Structure 1
Amino acid sequence: MPDRRATVLFTQCAGMFLVQLDVTVVNVALPDIGAAVGAGVPALQWVVDGYTVALAALLLTGGALADVLGPRRVVLAGLGIFGAASAGCALAPGSAALVAARVAQGAGAALLLPGTLAVITRAFPGRREQARALGVWAGVSALALAAGPLLGGLLVTATGWRSLFWINVPLTALAAAGTLRVPAGPPAAGRVDVAGTVTGATALAALVYAVIQSSVPAAVLGVAAAVAFLAAERRSPAPMLPLTLLRSRTFAAANLVAGAMNFAGLGTILLATLYLQGVHHATPPAAALAMLPGFLPLSLLAPVTGRLTARFGPRPVMIAGLLTGSAGLLGLLRVTATSTITGAFLPAFALVGVGLGLLTAAVVAAAVGGVPADRAGIASGVNNTARQACGALGIATFGAIAGSPARPAAFVHGLHAAAVLGAALWLAAAVLTAAAVGRP
């Protein structure tokens, strides 16, 4: 790999690392955050979901801006916003300020995520080398998810919860310095689809909020905004989501599978954290260590998945991941309030991790490979929007099904119901993959 392209891959993976790290790093710190800022359960839920909702709501905008303004500019802007918002989180005097700063973090992450993918796909235009590069990118993404709980547990114990956010500030500065070494490329053409940006962001934010808060007015607003978004995209001369892209069966199916992957995956990670800390009363570092067998396969398998996808195509790899993950979710049915962590929980959670490790790079490669190369930015934006929006819905849905771990027996019963739901969803996704992905 030439030095320049290695630099491109390294710096863009660093940006992705920050985005994914903040998806999971705060989970093990929630009890400490609640005690420090006087936050109840709803406020703590929004400390997690404020980031995810903003990320999901603005990802399409980030993808469109990457195509119009150029991915390097968008990545640099995202790093600046993310770093400043991280400092705001660390300095937050109360729960309202913390949630607001987390929303700003999500906005910066929405610029970073599709921008990094667009830079990588432009640097690696060949399908096979692109699949391998995306495998490395997905591996770093998975490493961040794995490092989040462990790093969070260690930092909270050693220096307090505010250090979770301070650590992002120097990392964003280093990533920005590396991104400046990436060639800017030719001047971008086109314009930003303002109507699509406003209606699309409103639809996603309102629909996710409606699920989390059980708000009927928000649901009505979300549906109305979604209809307005489709109408705006149909009329726009430069739509942020060209509806013609959805004619690709591979692209459409890959995004549906991506949504199912994160719906069950992130929902399961939330319940695993609550089970370990709420039912087994594990300390943050102990809970993080107990979750490593599920997170490590994400990191170790993602580069391998990239090579397998380059050789065999995404379809068989995606099916293998979905079936393995489904087996892990069904394995959670053996978990009880009194069962040992190593006896029932760890084997099942590890299989879920193996499934996610096989899926992540293959799903991204299928989505990006299903559209013309010059639409890589918007393709990655759509794919990550599906993942993050459905991940937020999964967190809300699985949390509502399981309830509070303060009632261990009821919580475990809800955990079983959520696991069955997730397994059914992933098995349906396997059928969809076999029927649609990789076919003309």
Structure 2
Amino acid sequence: MASNRSRRPLTLALCGGYFLVLLDVTVVNVALPQIGDELHAGSTGPAWTVDAYSVPLAALLLASGAIGDRIGHRRVVLLGMVGFGAASALCALAPTIGALVAARAVQGIGAALMLPGTLALLVDTSPDETSRNRLVGTWAAVGGAALPAGPVVGGLLVQAAGWRAVFWPSVPVIAAALVPVIRLRRTDPRSKRKQSVKWIGAALLVTTLTCVVTAIIQAPSSLIPTVILTAMAVCALLAFRLAERRATHPLLPVPRPARGMLGLASLAAGLMNLCALGGLFLLTQVFQDVDRLNPLVAGLLTLPAMLPLPLLGAPAGRLATRIGVWPASAIGAVIAGAGMTGIAATLMSTGNGYIALILYLTLWGAGLGVLTPAIVAAALKVTPETPGLASGAGNTARQTGGALGIAIVAAIAGSAESMGFAPRSAGLFVTAGAVFVLVGVLCSGVALSDRHRRTS
């Protein structure tokens, strides 16, 4: 059996790949003003720079897990790493906004191939349950650190060397990570389990999400294409549901008794990321284009909102164990909503409100730090026998919510250089706060229903 020391390079490689996947969701945000100026991105370019990555990542997660089960996760992770690394270099070299968006889409595909396989390979190569639990904890902690690191790392790189520097570090990191994965002894493909790749469902899911995001981003400037894209999205979604019902092995095989509760948990997770990533997208532009802060300071100012996520993971887990996953989710959602409402008030303030802003950002982050692990635990509680199903549904919902959130706020807020951008941003934060409160009410309703069911 391989020693802990001999497995360390593989663990570092897989956790490093996972870190890069999540880091690239937010690291580019502070670079958006420079990208817009240098590449003449227009009003929709910044949103597409982010969503071109998020859309394929969200839509292909479930299919990539099935592909790994079919042909072996080692092959899929290698393919994803090569694609991700090459696309990162293309992003850094992009001469136009169109080239950058295309490269970001390839990055998203590579990320979707990497993400499920990194955890699967860690689990498959663990010699015992103790080691497996430790590695899974390490993997989760690395992922929790990626979100707060994104704006800060991005700010440092943009301040030091410009926006292209945001993409270059992924290239040597991926090159180094490839070595231990290539050296890994070939594992048996999981085709023995007769897992099938749900190509039709995956294609329809990609079509649905792409059409929805495109329709939202283009809505302010072109009505007829928006209507056509919306109709295409509805048709693709209906076709996806029909394909899932008829498939022997659906892309998301949710047992009928669990569909309602898993759907509620996924909805809450999706709305959470819709508001969180949409808010982060707005904040980095407000700080740089409205307040004229440099990229590093803009990135550091977002840290109070992002840092509580990894720090509160363990305490939030204990809270959920003590009072229940749904009550804990409700508490986290309401706290996050209060924080976002406070942020809106500071954006509308004419004075220097950075101290108040930091306090409200911390409150928002604390709410997210409680809500995130609690709602993940709620999904796992619904399907305890199939944790992979709950994880796949939750990850897909969160990434989809993030992509939609960025598209929505970009369409409503408009260009950061336009008149009224700050007031519209404040209005969006108020709306996001209300959405969080709505999520809290939804979770409270589920908690009360559970309590009534147990006592009756």
Kept in 2, the 8 Å contact 1:301–1:354? The answer is: yes
- Which segment is superposed worse, 428-437 or 249-258? 428-437
In the alignment, residue 402 of structure 1 is paired with which amino acid?
A: A
Single out whichever of 220-229 and 324-333 deviates more from structure 2.
Answer: 324-333
Q: Taking structure 1 as reference, are residues 311 and 77 closer, same or farther at Cα in structure 2, changes over 3 Å only?
A: farther
- Within the candidate set 95, 101, 104, 1:102 is matched to 104
For 1:394 and 1:113, the matched residues in 2 are separated by 21
| Counterparts of residues 227-376 of structure 1 (less than 5 Å) | 227-244=238-255, 247-306=258-317, 308-309=319-320, 314-335=325-346, 336=348, 338-371=350-383, 373=385, 376=388
Is this contact kept in 2: 1:127–1:369, CA < 8 A? no
Name the counterpart of 1:413: 423
Offset of residue 337 of structure 1: 5.3
Mapped contact 2:70–2:189 kept (Cα < 8 A)? no
User: What is the percentage of aligned positions where both structures have the same residue?
Assistant: 43
Task: Give the distance between the partners of 1:12 and 1:246, measured in 2 at CA.
Answer: 35
CA distance in 1: counterparts of 2:427 and 2:102, whole angstroms: 33
Are 1:139 and 1:301, in contact at CA under 8 Å, matched by a contact in 2? no
Asked if 1:201 corresponds to 2:203, the answer is no
Task: For residue 294 of structure 1, report the CA deviation from its aligned partner.
Answer: 1.5
CA distance in 2, matches of 1:297, 1:268: 16
CA contact (8 A) 1:128 1:311 kept: no
Q: Which residue of 2 aligns with 1:431?
A: 441
Helix, strand or coil: the match of 1:166?
Answer: coil
C-alpha change, 1:125 and 1:25, in structure 2 (3 Å) is same
Please give the secondary structure, in 1, of the residue aligned with 2:95. coil
Q: Give the letter for the 2:110 counterpart.
A: G
- The higher radius of gyration belongs to 2
| AA of the residue aligned to 1:21 | L
Cα 1:324–1:210 shift into 2, 3 Å: same
- Tell me, yes or no, if the aligned pair for 1:59 and 1:382 is still in contact at 8 Å: no
Call closer, same or farther: CA 1:369–1:183 in 2, change over 3 Å: farther
| Paired position in structure 2 for 1:16 | 18
Q: Deviations over 1:284-333 (max 9, x none)?
A: 11111222211221232234435555676533432232121111012123
Q: Check conservation: 2:273, 2:405, Cα contact below 8 A.
A: yes
CA distance in 2, matches of 1:353, 1:126: 35
Specify the code of the residue in structure 2 equivalent to 1:287: A
CA contact (8 A) 1:56 1:205 kept: no
Structure 1 residue runs of 5 or longer lacking an equivalent are none
Cα deviation 1:205-260 (Å, max 9, x = unaligned) = 21222222221111111110111111111111221122436734442222111101
Q: Secondary structure at the match of 1:281?
A: coil
1:361 Cα deviation (Å)? 2.8
How far the C-alpha of 1:400 sits from its partner, in A, is: 3.0
Cα distance, 1:390 vs structure 2: 1.3
Matches of 1:134 and 1:351 in 2, distance apart?
28
- 1:131–1:365 contact (8 Å) kept in structure 2: no
Q: How many residues align?
A: 437
CA distance in 1, matches of 2:165, 2:330: 40
Q: Is 1:210 the equivalent of 2:223?
A: no
Given that residues 63 and 380 in structure 1 are in contact (C-alpha distance below 8 angstroms), is that contact kept between their aligned partners in structure 2?
A: no
Instruction: Give me the whole-angstrom Cα distance separating, in 2, the residues matched to 1:121 and 1:432.
Output: 34
Deviations 1:135-182 (A, max 9, x none): 654443332222222211221222222221110012223333454577
**Which region of structure 1 is more displaced relative to structure 2, 85-94 or 366-375?**
366-375
Structure-2 change in CA distance of 1:435 and 1:178 (3 Å): farther
Which of 406, 422, 429 aligns to 2:432? It is 422
Residue matched to 1:160: 162
User: Partner amino acid for 2:402?
Assistant: G
| TM-score, normalised via structure 2 length | 0.85
Q: Using the TM superposition, name which of 395-404 and 21-30 deviates more.
A: 395-404
- The Cα shift of 1:106 comes to 0.7
* 2:192 is the alignment partner of 1:192: no
For 2:329 and 2:13, the matched residues in 1 are separated by 27
Of stretches 42-51 and 277-286 in structure 1, the one that deviates more from structure 2 is 42-51
> 1:104-124 CA distances to partner (integer Å, 9 max, x unpaired)?
001111122233354567789
Normalising by the residue count of structure 1, what TM-score does the alignment of the two structures yield? 0.88
Of residues 366-375 and 193-202 in structure 1, the stretch that sits farther from structure 2 once superposed is 366-375
Q: Partners in 2 of 1:129 and 1:324 — Cα distance?
A: 36
The partner residue of 1:93 within 88, 92, 95 is 95
2:238 aligned partner, one-letter code: V
Q: Which runs of 5+ in 2 are unaligned?
A: 220-225
1:48: Cα distance to partner? 1.6
CA contact (8 A) 1:139 1:300 kept: no
Post-superposition offset of 1:68? 3.4
Q: d(CA) in 2 for partners of 1:253 and 1:204?
A: 19
Q: Structure 1 369/123 Cα, relative in aligned 2: closer, same or farther at 3 Å? A: farther
Alignment-derived partner of residue 410 in structure 2? 399
Query: Counterparts of 2:43 and 2:291 in 1: how far apart (Å)?
Result: 19
Which whole-Å deviations, capped at 9, do the CAs of 1:31-68 have from their partners, x for residues lacking one? 22233333323223211221112222222322332443
- Residues in 1 aligned to 2:33 and 2:112: alpha-carbon distance in whole angstroms: 27
Residue correspondence of structure 1 range 379-390 to structure 2 within 5 A: 379-390=390-401
Cα 1:321–1:136 shift into 2, 3 Å: farther
CA root-mean-square deviation = 3.2
Q: Shift of residue 266 of structure 1? A: 0.7
* Structure 1 pair 325–138 and aligned structure 2 pair: CA distance change class (3 A): farther
Secondary structure at the residue paired with 1:100?
Answer: helix
